Structure 1
Amino acid sequence: MISKLLIANRGEIACRIIRTAREMGVATVAVYSDADAKALHVRSADEAVHIGPSPAAESYLVGEKIIAAAKQTGAEAIHPGYGFLSENADFAQSVIDAGLIWVGPKPESIRAMGLKDAAKERMIAAGVPVTPGYLGADQSVDRLKKEADAIGYPVLIKAVAGGGGKGMRKVDAAENFEADLESCKREAKASFSNDEVLLEKWITSPRHIEVQVFGDSHGNVVHLFERDCSLQRRHQKVIEEAPAPGMDEATREEICAAAVRAAKAVDYEGAGTIEFIADASEGLRADRIFFMEMNTRLQVEHPVTEEITGVDLVEWQLRVASGEPIPLKQEELSIDGWAIEARLYAEDVAAGFLPSTGTLEQCHLPDGAEGIRVETGIERGSAVSPFYDPMIAKVVAHGSTRNEAIYRLGTALEGVAVWPVKSNAGFLFDLVTHEAFASAELTTAFIADHENDLKPMTQPKAEMLNRAASELLDQYEDGDRQALSGFRLNAPANRTVRLRSGKETYAVEPDDHRSDHTFSSLAAPDIALVSYRADTFAVSLDHERGTGHASAADGAILAPMPGKVIAVDVAEGDTVSAGQRLMVLEAMKMEHALTAPFDGTVTELSASEGGQVQVEAVLCVVEPTE
């Protein structure tokens, strides 16, 4: 067995691997960039090695630095996690050439599945069903157009080296084909340095079904059943579950057997996933489920498979990489209950899912609840960096039935509260509690089809403000409350208190009403975090404008996200016109100009050039011209 393991990754997957390694008595080495110097995975490992600047291209993607770190610390093996170098066959070979153990498939297996056209040809030879299409070497526009016409529209153009939705176009009609082909090839060239494409028949009611496979160096390959990953946004998975709803035993047996044949066709070792696209227009049927691609690594969504099988896939990876056979035979594996995973991201849903960065001054995750598992590399005080994927956590629910798993996941998501970084918790809650999701009416277009039902709250509800007012005022003695608002809370009338959330102020009369779906906590002495159905708002007492204008009129200019002030164009006392630039904020490698909402005077200015600001910080105030 491996005695010391280097994890060539970061965040939640690094923490996940460290946990299993520790349980197995395997020492661990973390690697980290400048941005991750204080990260949880660095502090969790037995040792840690700095490998470079914050950009991944200068740290986590530099194989030479990672191999040097392994040799420096005496690590015997390297686990790549997922992403970064996990499916880089050249890096895998370099690890092996350096005399180290690669915790993953053989480099030739990675290469065999790396190009979609070659992989499909191999699958056809292995008897694995593939989507009708064109895989030919002739890439001329005329030939591709002819093949598309023969397949029938709509047709899908896909980059042979693609992934993550890049280099992919749906073509609805023949007259659009050439323009869409040109666009697809241009994107593929820029993203993958390879503009070759393949064509596939567009599936009208698609579901994304994938099968977890596992092989060892003794010629054994097993499957650990299927997952449904149909809930996606822009080709990125959002919710995953196992098993797949509506999968009967006969269909499961056929598709899982096909996945095992696919793995054997490339002499596969370690954890891998065979991804299929299903035409679910008449339910899940084996003759309408087609091979899409193979992921030659551990998947983000592997916890749902672990929850229904009781298997620790990372433990299996380490044992198989050490030369041991797979711990269980196929007949010893079975499905127990249901598991659903939600990917919790630091992103502003209301702003079009723009990534949200900054320090998590508050971070409450629902770990420890019955049937709930949380995988994270973040804690209170952690920074969500603009350099990497903005995942906060994976929240996984397990239950004896799908309905129980849904209920547990929804309840867990309601308990999420992070601040000042924004999250998609409310969006996830709306997804898993949607009646169409409960009815398993799943396709990859689910989110787009139900877009109107999944819009985030833009302002806190009355019960949220009521809860926030009580939370905030409970800090004060009765006399202090009177000073804050000019009244006594237990007086029979005129009990109004003014609160601020974002750019808005609200007049609230606190009472003892409590909503079962409303939760609150203090983020700071004068700031309450209040959540309703997983949507969270920061609410404060409006000290300075408790009896003033509503904030839509008082001109408070707030930071839309954490960032750096790179220019200030005004000073206190300046007269400004509606639309005039007041300052520029740099965030997420973009510049955001903040402008005057109306004609007026700058009465307050708290921002200075070069200063770092948090989301919703008041940067300046413009009073309107009378």
Structure 2
Amino acid sequence: MAMDGSSPRPPLWTAQLPVSDEGIHKITRILIANRGEIACRIIKTCRLMGITSIAIYTKEDATSRHVSDADEAINLGSVEHSQVNPFLDIPYLIQTAKQARADAIHPGYGYLSENSQFADAVRESGMIFIGPSSTAMSTLGDKRQAKVYLSKNEPRIPLIPGWNGSGEEMDIEQLEKEAEAIGYPIMIKASAGGGGKGMRIVHSSSLLKSELERAQSEAKRSFGSSECILEKYIEAGKHVEVQIMGDKTGKVLSLWERDCSVQRRHQKVIEESPCAWLNPELRKKMCDTAVRIGELIKYEGAGTVEFILDIVTGNFYFLEVNARLQVEHPITEECTGLDLVSLQIYVASGGELGKLPQLNAIPQTGHAIECRLCAEDPIRDFAPQHGLVRFWEPTTQDTPRDVRFETAIETGTRVSIFFDSMIAKIVVWAPTRDLAIKKMVRTLSETACIGPSTNQCFLQACLMHEKFHSVDYTTAFIPSNLDRLLENPHLKNFGLSLQEFSAITSMFIRELKSQSELKQTRKVFGSIRRGFRNQSLDRVNVPSDIITRHDAKAGSPVDPTVCRWPQESRIPPSDGLRVQVAPVPPTKSRDEAAEATEPEEATIAYNTLSAALRRGPLPASKQLDLQLHELRLFSAGLNTPHTWKVGRLRLSASGQKYTVTLVSVDDRALHFESDMGTPNKVLAHIPALGAQFEFHCYSPLSYFESLRASAGGGREASSKTILAPMPCKVLRVEKKNGDEVKTGEVVMVVESMKMEITIAAGRDGAFHTTLKEGDSVDEGCLLCNLE
């Protein structure tokens, strides 16, 4: 083992199915009872092993890449219009697998991967379940049963203080007594699952009932069981897990550990291997404990033994066994050189681990990090996002052996509200931890994922934070440093301000507009030269745009910037072009504006800008010199109902070089005057800033028309209504019509992307809604009124 990275990286090795031993099951066709990136991962290994892969999908998942990657694909119908989610419908999955002539079923992770009834049903049907026995699942895969079993059969295993009563005992009075005995803060955990679902930290008895109800509700929908347990919450804890692999002979191996302490909402977002905080003695003790647990139950297949490590005392406690493959398994593969999916298939077919010489001495070489790229908005409490991925391009800065992307998305894929928010796993390997961190930051920043909001920049802020570098960070890392982590860590070193960058957005839209006009065969006044002005000497007619930037914190466009061009031109020629950038000037007469209505304010502001443009350079203006080095424009979304334009630019701005990818969201508005008040929306991925930004591009007239339109409804009216933040399903209506509510009170609970979201009142008022539990609504639809 080489912890300092001095040993060369082990080549990735894939096990081969035994063909001559007795008790071997020949596997030629595997149905993957899952979706998305894990299905793509399994398909890849099946291809290496010469096994036919059979994917399943639903109507809402038809554009997922696993559908096209697999050798065969079967449509299960619709999640939205089925009484039972097809991925959770055991009889339907068994019937589908038999009709597809599958020899085996691989459950992936999530859904039914740890469901003992599913494992039994697969085996009873004559197929092979690629996973542990149902006994191991029910004994170790369930948090409650695991702790009861271990306390009885292996009392040397350190267990975290808690309460593991059965589901029939889940009345609130009993739980309040048990929680007081454990001592707050406590953790409520879904007994049957993981992945952050059905987990809540409770700091006082007054919150126990409401948090229990939410944990049970999430657990029931995610895992089919609402049973929960209580545990003491260790506030200075590291989440360390050990990967194990077992076979039919009872042999269990440790494949070393992973540190999974960077978590939001109790769900991992960054994992690394090895855990740099451990010394060799403690590492061996934890791994030996994990093996002992696996041997006790004769565990077969891939599993993970999870521990909480108290960094104050150095003590560690058993948490649970994940009786399946883990989301973060790639970092173990990167450090050991072992293909874990192939080993799963190998032992499921009856292969013995002792007959593989590669497992005699399992290495732990270098350092690997995995980041979970999720469609979510960190600014809005990590609320899940959805929508069209308009451009996806993983960075190609290193060889595939150093950087690994596991995803089912591509340009044109739609992130659905019916599935988890994780859209990609990004994995890097390097000889040392410091190099792995730098490589991951660079990889994240250069990867273009343009469309729904993601945690891409947030992940980089985590990796660049000094506390993460110190290796003694705990599961409280994100909540303890949240304000800093929500800031863009690259901004201070960025050569341009975001207002100055607006000129590049303006340049892009003007080029698209020019190309659109050139393609028109019939134009009104087509014989008149381009750029003609009736009053050519009037300075107000100098080509100008107003660009705003959408800011998640503000919830609306900010930094309105005037970009004034010296002439009607297309993309600047190679010798460059100078553009004037300035903030929109303040209104000419503050006294006059103060007495005006909001629509009148917009008119006054427009007149103020017109007057300023006529006088010459705008106040506080800057000159920006642009020089284009490379331009590539192309259409995307060719397989969708609508196409959109993508631009890849390399350019210099005031002497500094930049690369940027821009996407025009709505090409129908390329002629500014065609829809007054409607901007051209542009999404821009800026690698130097490691994230995407949303810009709105207007003509001066259309910008002020948009202000007039938005002012028409009035701020008072909007504060009385609560609209759906995304397509969602109403889980609970917490108030009755006519109830008086206070600002901040929870009035409804909705579900989207497998997560519960609370809807709080933004003002005092009388509650009223026409919705009931179970109703589905689209984004922007009315949830309730507060009169």
Partner SS for 1:31: strand
1:103-502 equivalence runs, <5 A: 103-124=130-151, 125-126=153-154, 127-135=156-164, 151-156=182-187, 158=189, 160-161=191-192, 163-165=194-196, 170=201, 172=203, 176-177=204-205, 179-183=206-210, 185-187=212-214, 189-190=216-217, 191-192=219-220, 198-281=229-312, 285=314, 288-326=315-353, 327-328=356-357, 331-366=360-395, 369-370=398-399, 371-456=402-487, 461-462=498-499, 464-472=501-509, 483=531, 497-502=545-550
The residue number in structure 2 matching 1:511 is 625
Range with bigger deviation, 240-249 or 121-130: 121-130
The residue number in structure 1 matching 2:673 is none
Asked if structure 2 preserves the Cα contact closer than 8 Å seen for 1:122 and 1:265, the reply is: no
Q: Per-residue CA shift, 1:539-591, capped at 9, x if unaligned?
A: 35423647x5496x45459xxxxxxxxxxxxxxxxx64444469977832269
- The Cα shift of 1:82 comes to 0.5
The residue number in structure 1 matching 2:663 is 523
Q: Per-residue CA shift, 1:256-281, capped at 9, x if unaligned?
A: 00000111122110000001001012
In 2, Cα distance between the equivalents of 1:486 and 1:520? 36
Asked if structure 1 preserves the Cα contact closer than 8 Å seen for 2:660 and 2:685, the reply is: yes
Asked if structure 1 preserves the Cα contact closer than 8 Å seen for 2:544 and 2:699, the reply is: no
The residue number in structure 1 matching 2:591 is none
Asked if structure 1 preserves the Cα contact closer than 8 Å seen for 2:499 and 2:561, the reply is: no
1:26 aligns with 2:51: yes
1:588 aligns with 2:727: yes
1:95 aligns with 2:235: no
Partner SS for 1:128: coil
Taking structure 1 as reference, are residues 42 and 485 closer, same or farther at Cα in structure 2, changes over 3 Å only? Answer: farther
In 2, Cα distance between the equivalents of 1:516 and 1:227? 41
Asked if structure 1 preserves the Cα contact closer than 8 Å seen for 2:142 and 2:191, the reply is: yes
Partner SS for 2:483: helix
- The Cα shift of 1:207 comes to 0.7
Q: Per-residue CA shift, 1:194-229, capped at 9, x if unaligned?
A: 776655443231110000000011221101100011
Taking structure 1 as reference, are residues 439 and 496 closer, same or farther at Cα in structure 2, changes over 3 Å only? Answer: farther
- The Cα shift of 1:117 comes to 3.0
Asked if structure 2 preserves the Cα contact closer than 8 Å seen for 1:506 and 1:550, the reply is: no
In 2, Cα distance between the equivalents of 1:466 and 1:42? 41
Point out the structure with max Rg over C-alpha.
2
Taking structure 1 as reference, are residues 343 and 554 closer, same or farther at Cα in structure 2, changes over 3 Å only? Answer: farther
Partner SS for 1:587: coil
| Structure 1 residues without counterparts, runs of 5 or longer | 558-574, 594-611, 615-626
Taking structure 1 as reference, are residues 315 and 485 closer, same or farther at Cα in structure 2, changes over 3 Å only? Answer: farther
Range with bigger deviation, 2-11 or 201-210: 201-210
In 1, Cα distance between the equivalents of 2:40 and 2:350? 24
Asked if structure 2 preserves the Cα contact closer than 8 Å seen for 1:157 and 1:171, the reply is: yes
Asked if structure 1 preserves the Cα contact closer than 8 Å seen for 2:241 and 2:304, the reply is: yes
Aligned-partner residue type, residue 373 of structure 2? L
In 2, Cα distance between the equivalents of 1:109 and 1:403? 39
The residue number in structure 2 matching 1:536 is 692
- The Cα shift of 1:320 comes to 1.0
Asked if structure 2 preserves the Cα contact closer than 8 Å seen for 1:15 and 1:377, the reply is: yes
Asked if structure 2 preserves the Cα contact closer than 8 Å seen for 1:417 and 1:529, the reply is: no
State the percentage of identical aligned residues: 36
Q: Could you tell me the TM-score, scaled by structure 1's length?
A: 0.80
Q: Per-residue CA shift, 1:104-125, capped at 9, x if unaligned?
A: 1111110112432331132333
The residue number in structure 1 matching 2:676 is none
Q: Per-residue CA shift, 1:474-510, capped at 9, x if unaligned?
A: 668899999499999xx9xx89653243434322434
Taking structure 1 as reference, are residues 98 and 497 closer, same or farther at Cα in structure 2, changes over 3 Å only? Answer: same
In 2, Cα distance between the equivalents of 1:150 and 1:452? 34
In 2, Cα distance between the equivalents of 1:378 and 1:456? 27
In 1, Cα distance between the equivalents of 2:258 and 2:74? 36
Asked if structure 1 preserves the Cα contact closer than 8 Å seen for 2:336 and 2:363, the reply is: yes
In 2, Cα distance between the equivalents of 1:271 and 1:130? 22
Partner SS for 1:52: coil
- The Cα shift of 1:235 comes to 0.6
- Alignment equivalent of 1:76, drawn from 99, 103, 107: 103
Aligned-partner residue type, residue 499 of structure 2? A
In 2, Cα distance between the equivalents of 1:474 and 1:244? 50
Asked if structure 2 preserves the Cα contact closer than 8 Å seen for 1:362 and 1:419, the reply is: yes
- Alignment equivalent of 1:12, drawn from 37, 40, 46: 37
Q: Per-residue CA shift, 1:234-271, capped at 9, x if unaligned?
A: 11111111111211111111000000011112211000
Partner SS for 2:471: coil
Asked if structure 2 preserves the Cα contact closer than 8 Å seen for 1:414 and 1:517, the reply is: no
In 2, Cα distance between the equivalents of 1:307 and 1:14? 19
Q: Per-residue CA shift, 1:517-542, capped at 9, x if unaligned?
A: 96412323764614253221133542
In 1, Cα distance between the equivalents of 2:533 and 2:450? 26
- The Cα shift of 1:130 comes to 1.4
In 2, Cα distance between the equivalents of 1:487 and 1:297? 73
In 2, Cα distance between the equivalents of 1:181 and 1:528? 43
Taking structure 1 as reference, are residues 464 and 308 closer, same or farther at Cα in structure 2, changes over 3 Å only? Answer: farther
Taking structure 1 as reference, are residues 477 and 271 closer, same or farther at Cα in structure 2, changes over 3 Å only? Answer: same
Taking structure 1 as reference, are residues 517 and 356 closer, same or farther at Cα in structure 2, changes over 3 Å only? Answer: farther
- Tell me the number of residue pairs that the alignment of Structure 1 and Structure 2 aligns: 566
| Structure 2 residues without counterparts, runs of 5 or longer | 1-25, 492-496, 519-528, 551-556, 564-580, 582-623, 627-651, 671-681, 731-749, 751-758, 760-777, 781-787
Asked if structure 2 preserves the Cα contact closer than 8 Å seen for 1:520 and 1:528, the reply is: no
- Alignment equivalent of 1:53, drawn from 78, 99, 114: 78
In 1, Cα distance between the equivalents of 2:77 and 2:532? 51
Partner SS for 1:392: strand
Asked if structure 1 preserves the Cα contact closer than 8 Å seen for 2:461 and 2:488, the reply is: no
Partner SS for 1:74: coil
Partner SS for 2:292: helix
